[in-house]
């Protein structure tokens, strides 16, 4: 199932004090995300989130690239296998978004497909000059996955997100920064050090406060249906309040309402 590098680790942890750097590593393959790599990444991220000695995580790629995306040699129409491979990355994305530790993507070179999805799931994206981003799923006949349909519209204006998803075009660093896909651009080769420096600042903040903040941010409605149900519940509660009754009365009496907060 795995490629010829399967006997070597494909996610390499490096401790930098309170920060751990996780490096995606598939030599000569632009860190294509194999089943082995996604399994190791989930294991590493799970362990780091549970380790009290780690305050922040940096995710990067080896050999000048972040990741070119899913390993096309492993893509299959077998529903059980395909579902299992996706589930591993879905569990990882949930941890990146809602887990207790801040996660910073340090991007050099290519971040395409599922590689872009992983970067976008991180709290902050730092990119070296010359980095390139793209949601090229349509070029292999797939819809964007690994949460990108949630994270991309959260980061960008809806029309911009749709353009990136529909066109499958490559986005250069300057445009990525202007759009908000990237949060900081540094000289080429400097993404990891800049990400670690940022992570160290986060590590100085109360960890439980950050954990609670991430949990709240990650609990945002994940679909239109979820949003509409939450909206309806809120409107029905508010319809019972004295302030709503006062607002209706004031409108009819052509005066400003006197709200009481009840």
Decide: 191 and 127 in contact? Cβ < 8 Å.
yes
The 3 state secondary structure assigned to the chain is: CCCCCCCCCCEEEEEECCEEEEEECCCCCCCCECHHHHHHHHHHHHHHHHCCCCCEEEEEECCCCCECCECHHHCCCCHHHHHHHHHHHHHHHHHHHHCCCCEEEEECCEEECHHHHHHHHCCEEEEECCCEEECHHHHHCCCCCCCHHHHHHHHCCHHHHHHHHHHCCCEEHHHHHHHCCCCEEECCCCHHHHHHHHHHHHHCCCHHHHHHHHHHHHCCCCCHHHHHHHHHHHHHHHCCCHHHHHHHHHHHHCCCCCCCCC
Above 60 in pLDDT, residue 5?
no
Residue 85 CB neighbours (<10 A): 22
Which one, of 132, 243, 251, 256, lies nearest residue 185 by Cα?
132
pLDDT above 60: residue 228: no
Q: Which residues on adjacent β-strands are paired with residue 60? A: 23, 106
Sketch the domain layout of the chain as residue ranges: 11-206, 224-253
* Nearest-angstrom CA–CA distance, 77 and 54: 39
pLDDT above 60 for 145:
yes
Does residue 96 register a pLDDT over 80? yes
Residue 176 pLDDT more than 80? yes
Give 165's pLDDT tier (boundaries 50, 70, 90).
very high
CATH superfamily, domain 11-206, is 2-enoyl-CoA Hydratase; Chain A, domain 1 (3.90.226.10)
Question: Position of tokens 């395409």?
Answer: 112
Instruction: Take residue 13 and report the two structure tokens written for it.
Output: 């942890």
Please state, in angstroms and rounded to a whole number, the distance separating the CA atoms of residues 258 and 261.
Answer: 10
Range of weakest confidence among 55-69, 115-129, 218-232: 218-232
Of 11-15, 79-83, 99-103, give the lowest mean pLDDT range.
79-83
Q: How confident is the model at residue 212 (pLDDT cuts 50, 70, 90)?
A: confident
In which band, very low, low, confident or very high, does the pLDDT at 1 lie, cut at 50, 70 and 90? Answer: very low
> At 2, is the pLDDT very low, low, confident or very high (cuts 50, 70, 90)?
very low
pLDDT above 80 for 220: no
How far is the C-alpha of 192 from the C-alpha of 240, rounded, in Å? Answer: 53
**Report field, pTM of the whole predicted structure over 0.75:** yes
pLDDT of amino acid 260: 67
């Amino acid at each position: 199932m795995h490629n010829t590098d399967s006997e070597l680790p494909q996610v390499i942890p490096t401790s930098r004090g309170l920060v751990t750097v996780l490096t995606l590593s598939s030599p000569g393959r632009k860190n294509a995300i194999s089943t082995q790599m996604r399994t190791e990444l989930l294991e590493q991220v799970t362990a780091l989130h549970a380790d009290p000695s780690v305050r922040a995580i940096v995710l990067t790629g080896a050999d000048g690239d972040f990741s070119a995306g899913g390993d096309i040699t492993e893509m299959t129409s077998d529903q059980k296998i395909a579902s299992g491979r996706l589930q591993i990355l879905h569990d990882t994305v949930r941890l990146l978004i809602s887990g207790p530790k801040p996660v910073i993507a340090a991007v050099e070179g290519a971040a395409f497909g599922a590689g872009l999805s992983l970067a976008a799931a991180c709290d902050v994206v730092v990119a070296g000059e010359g980095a390139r981003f793209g949601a090229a799923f349509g070029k292999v006949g797939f819809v964007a996955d690994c949460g990108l349909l949630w994270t991309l519209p959260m980061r960008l204006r809806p029309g911009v997100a749709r353009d990136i998803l529909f066109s499958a075009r490559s986005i250069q660093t300057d445009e990525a920064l202007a759009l908000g896909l990237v949060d900081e651009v540094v000289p080429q080769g400097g993404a990891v050090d800049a990400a670690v420096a940022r992570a160290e600042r986060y590590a100085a903040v109360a960890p439980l406060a950050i954990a609670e903040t991430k949990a709240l941010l990650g609990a945002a409605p994940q679909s239109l249906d979820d949003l509409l149900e939450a909206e309806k519940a809120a409107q029905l509660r508010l319809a019972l309040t004295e302030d709503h009754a006062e607002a209706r009365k004031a409108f009819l009496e052509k005066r400003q309402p006197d709200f009481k907060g009840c």
